[in-house]
Amino acid sequence: MKPTIYDVAKEANVSIATVSKVLNNTGRISEKTKSKILQIMKELEYQPSSVATALTGKKTFTIGVLVPDIANPFFAEVARALENNAREMGYSIILCSTDYQLEREHDYLELLIKKQVDGIIIATEPKDLKKLRSLNDRNVPSVLFSIDHLAIDSHVVTTDDLKGGYLAGRYLIEKGHRDFVIITEPQRASGVLRVEGFKKALVDEGVDLEGVLVIEAKSKINEARKAANQILRLPKRPSAVFASTDLIAAIFINEVRKAGVSVPQDISIIGFDNTIHAEISDPGLTTIAQPIAKLASYTIEQLLDAIENPSIPPNRIMLAPTLIERESVRDLNK
Amino acid sequence: MKPTIYDVAKEANVSIATVSKVLNNTGRISEKTKSKILQIMKELEYQPSSVATALTGKKTFTIGVLVPDIANPFFAEVARALENNAREMGYSIILCSTDYQLEREHDYLELLIKKQVDGIIIATEPKDLKKLRSLNDRNVPSVLFSIDHLAIDSHVVTTDDLKGGYLAGRYLIEKGHRDFVIITEPQRASGVLRVEGFKKALVDEGVDLEGVLVIEAKSKINEARKAANQILRLPKRPSAVFASTDLIAAIFINEVRKAGVSVPQDISIIGFDNTIHAEISDPGLTTIAQPIAKLASYTIEQLLDAIENPSIPPNRIMLAPTLIERESVRDLNK
DNA sequence: CAGGTAAGGTTAAGCGCTTAACTTCACCGA
DNA sequence: TCGGTGAAGTTAAGCGCTTAACCTTACCTG
């Protein structure tokens, strides 16, 4: 069996309290006793049970991460970055894919509470608002990652989507484009903001919004294909397309090529997220990069702050996205 | 504060033992008392602490999953499938990315033991053999996922990589190919098996192995690019390439196109894994699919079996891969 | 109507650890 | 010589839950 603190204590001829003290580096113990105990721990391969520790009111050093779908490259990167930062701080992560379903979100939240996680990171568009709000009453600190929802009184760490859209719009205009189509995910707050920012850029540069078509497509292969083909069939083909995710953009490039239309010669495209799709697509996809690593480190920082001090008021941190220039946008000025 | 079993008991005017009984559906309680207690639990939004439950010797309903890198699409899919199956069985998952580093593997294993997980799934090429073997002594059931290592006495659930390679080889030969180059990951057992299977197919079909070049490349963007270009510069270009991962294959397609060489007209390629890269690449990548969903469900099944009954001898389950035909291989017979 | 029985509880110990409060003892200065 | 002091431990309660063993009633039966 796994050795317990009693085994160590007995072996060392001391009380368990003494052993506990060397575990936590508290109280007074002579160097001699201490090293003896440490020695014995090694011999027995003793590992304190974090379950028992947690029961005494200490932390579980576990945080829950809610994502919609870990198989989506963006969220996979997010999970990776969060895990990395958490690990460095001594925390581990319980992974929860909600699959965009209210029920799963609900169940997972209950589960995380039951498991006494120290905090929860929500990277999925929240559906179960009631449950989420109840997190506060239950003193479970939470951080919204890359999403924002005024109805929830948590910390927020997100990309400035509005600005991201704006960057994309301004860039295309600088490159001489004037006719646009937007492909965006329906019912996603960040998608809405991206489009809004994009349009704002057009307005600021004096482009008429009337002619701008907005097509809705989820960030899934078949929907993205459909959207791409819809654009190809348009009577007046736009000179540039703004896709609200890289997956949509990458598929657009492929569909368009199949139709004998060339990117960026015949049509330009700009994506969002800077996932691996953007990097390996051909031509390389110009896109708006979310600063995932930074978002993750701020998120963990905020969460740990909130864990240490539950009463601090929720901050809303917005990090600037950056434009990554590759080869999918043609410069019409040249 | 979070209500405890005491709060419920007090409110219901019964002892905590009674409450515990309704929680576990054991012992005798009158319907009346039971429904009253259930009612009160609802009102208080009582959730039993799984930490306390775990301490009484019950399970934690948590399993650890070790992957090398969750940002890799293959492992992201794996994590997703495992999580899905685990959730259905009432388990949740602690995610551990080892980043191919012995140290992290080691630390995570210690952590998982400390957290008293009920079992561990290892989907990363194991490095810390000693620690892994010690899992057995500590009665922590484990399953090797998609890898195999005779030195470790765990259950194994894996794709039949040998057969996968064989399938790829036979397919290419059926399509009339005779000159091959293989791109494979170095130091990866499954990679070795894939290559071996591939070669076996060639031998069985009477193709001389002498002319078959094997290039090593990690499944990373830059290494894959390098490998692709190395092939392009070859004095005698092969008619078909076998890449041991989809990422390598997808990048190969792009690099080759940039060089003005067309897939599959000028050169054919076949991948392995059937990740999203295979699906969205252009042309669609013909590849060997690992039955991820099935692997995951068998893995969870084996692990739960081992948790219930630690003494069952370790099984080794090998699931057959299948060939997914898309458009990246040319039929030379036509 | 004594004694058995079963239903519906309760009591209390224990899981592995933390921690406030207490004990013990050596040593010190006046 | 004696009280005071500080170092090094120990004692014991408590965290929230489970469970074996026990208790109390009501009811049944010969």
For residue range B260-286, list pLDDT tens digits in order.
Answer: 999 999 999 999 999 999 999 989 999
| pLDDT confidence of residue A132 | 86
CB-based contact, A296 to chain B, within 8 Å: no
Indicate yes or no: CB of B84 within 8 angstroms of CB of A76. Answer: no
Residue at minimum CA to C1' distance from nucleotide C18: A56
Laid out side by side, the sheet with B142-145 consists of: A316-319, A155-159, A142-145, A119-122, A62-67, A92-97, B92-97, B62-67, B119-122, B142-145, B155-159, B316-319
Percent of all residues in chain A with a pLDDT value above 90, rounded to a whole number:
83
Topology of the domain comprising A161-290 = Rossmann fold (3.40.50)
B5 touches strand D (CB under 7 A): yes
* Domain boundaries along the sequence of chain B: 5-48, 62-159+292-319, 161-290
Report whether B124 contacts B68 (CB < 8 A).
yes
Q: Which of A49, A59, A92 to mutate to test the interface with B (most CBs of B within 10 A)?
A: A92
CB-based contact, A246 to chain B, within 8 Å: no
> What chain B residue is nearest to A254 in terms of C-alpha separation?
B282
What is d(CA A311, CA B54) in angstroms, rounded to the nearest whole number?
Answer: 30
Round to a whole number and report the distance in Å from the CA of A219 to the C1' of D19: 52
Per DSSP, B4 falls in state -
CA A68-A62-A9 angle, to 5 degrees, is 160
Alpha carbons within 13 A on the beta-carbon side of A181: 24
CB-based contact, A39 to chain B, within 8 Å: no
CA distances to B168, B182, B202, B206, B259 from B173, in Å: 9, 14, 8, 10, 26
Indicate yes or no: CB of B51 within 8 angstroms of CB of A47. Answer: no
Tokens, residue A307: 């864990």
A56 touches strand D (CB under 7 A): yes
The dotted CATH code for B62-159+292-319 is: 3.40.50.2300
| pLDDT confidence of residue B232 | 96
Tokens, residue A222: 């078949």
Scan residues 24-53 of chain A and list those with Cβ within 7 Å of strand D. Answer: 27-30, 32-34
CB-based contact, A20 to chain B, within 8 Å: no
| pLDDT confidence of residue A1 | 75
Q: Over the stretch B54-104, which tens digit does the pLDDT of each residue have?
A: 999 889 999 999 999 999 889 999 999 999 999 999 999 999 999 999 999
Per DSSP, A72 falls in state S
> What chain A residue is nearest to B134 in terms of C-alpha separation?
A45
Instruction: Extract long-range pairs of A32-37: CB within 8 Å, 24+ residues apart.
Output: A36/A12, A37/A8, A37/A12
| pLDDT confidence of residue A189 | 87
**Whether residue B1 has pLDDT greater than 80:** no
User: Would you say the CATH fold of B161-290 matches that of B62-159+292-319?
Assistant: yes
What is d(CA A141, CA A304) in angstroms, rounded to the nearest whole number?
Answer: 9
State the pairing for strand pair A92-97/A62-67: parallel
Round to a whole number and report the distance in Å from the CA of B23 to the C1' of C4: 32
Q: Which CATH class is domain B5-48?
A: mainly alpha
> What chain B residue is nearest to A107 in terms of C-alpha separation?
B87
Q: Over the stretch A20-70, which tens digit does the pLDDT of each residue have?
A: 999 999 888 899 999 999 999 999 999 999 999 999 988 999 999 999 999
Round to a whole number and report the distance in Å from the CA of B32 to the C1' of C26: 65
Region A253-263: what's the mean pLDDT?
93
- pLDDT band, residue A131 (cuts 50/70/90): confident
CB-based contact, A285 to chain B, within 8 Å: no
Chain A closest-CA separation from residue B252 CA (Å): 10
Q: Over the stretch A161-171, which tens digit does the pLDDT of each residue have?
A: 999 999 999 99
Q: Which of B273, B280, B328 to mutate to test the interface with A (most CBs of A within 10 A)?
A: B280
CB-based contact, B258 to chain A, within 8 Å: yes
pTM of this structure? 0.91
Indicate yes or no: CB of A282 within 8 angstroms of CB of B70. Answer: no
**Which nucleotide lies closest to A8 by the C1' atom and the CA atom?**
C16
Q: Which of B290, B284, B255, B259 is nearest to B270 (CA)?
A: B284
Indicate yes or no: CB of A60 within 8 angstroms of CB of B76. Answer: no
